[in-house]
Amino acid sequence: MIERKRADMKKRGFYYICGMVIIAVLLSVLSVVFGNIAKKPVSELETNFYNVKDFGAVGDGKNNDTDGVKKALAQALKNNGTVYFPSGTYLITSTINIEKDDSMVLKFKGEEGTKIIGAESLQGDILMYCNTCGGVLKGLTSFVR
């Protein structure tokens, strides 16, 4: 009887040690995997991605989003970035002028169904790309007036 208890205790001890070894190996593997993920550089798109909502735009079609869009555009222009419009309707109440600078790259990205609309009181275009604000912004087809 005592021999059997010792054998059971040895078995439990063996299983305990095996379990601890397995846990230690799993933790080591996970730390390597997650450590490598944490060390990976953030892509340029992620670092130069400017969400208009982070700059105060609401995107409900009722609130004036002009300032939020202008601020996001300014940051994106400074950093050759992408202006991102999450799903929504963005109301613009005054023309947003984008000064021409051939050394800069500016990209726009929006989710399907995103609209940028001009307020009825808006005099002129929603966006104007210009040297002296007389040029035309090309390649934007999602703007509605």
**Tokens 């995997």 identify what position?**
33
Q: Are 93 and 37 in contact (CB under 8 A)?
A: no
Q: How confident is the model at residue 144 (pLDDT cuts 50, 70, 90)?
A: very low
Q: Which residues of 23-40 are buried (b: 16+ CB within 10 A; e: fewer)?
A: eeeeeeeeeeeeeeeeee
Clarify whether residues 88 and 30 are in a common domain: no
The pTM of the full predicted model, rounded to 2 decimals, is 0.60
The structural domain count of the chain equals: 2
| Whether residue 61 sits in one domain with residue 117 | yes
Cα–Cα distances in angstroms (integers) from residue 81 to residues 22, 30, 77, 97, in the given order: 46, 34, 6, 17
**pLDDT tens, residue by residue, 96-127:** 888 766 667 777 888 888 888 888 888 878 88
**pLDDT over threshold 60, residue 5:** yes
Which of left, alpha, beta for 89 (phi over 0: left; psi -120 to 50: alpha)?
A: beta
- Is 57 in the same domain as 126? yes
Q: Which domain holds residue 94?
A: 44-144
Contacts of 133 (CB under 8 A, 6+ apart): 97
Helix (H, G, I), strand (E, B) or coil at 143: strand
- Edge to edge, the sheet with strand 115-118 lists 60-64, 89-92, 115-118, 143-144
Full DSSP string of 24-92: HHHHHHHHHHHHHHHHSPPPHHHHTEEEGGGGT---EEEEE-HHHHHHHHHHHHHTT-EEEE-SSEEEE
26 and 85 assigned to the same domain:
no
Which one is predicted more confidently, 34 or 103? 103
Q: Which amino acid is located at 75 in the chain? A: Q
28 and 68 belong to one structural domain: no
φ, ψ at 111 (rounded to 5°): -80, 160
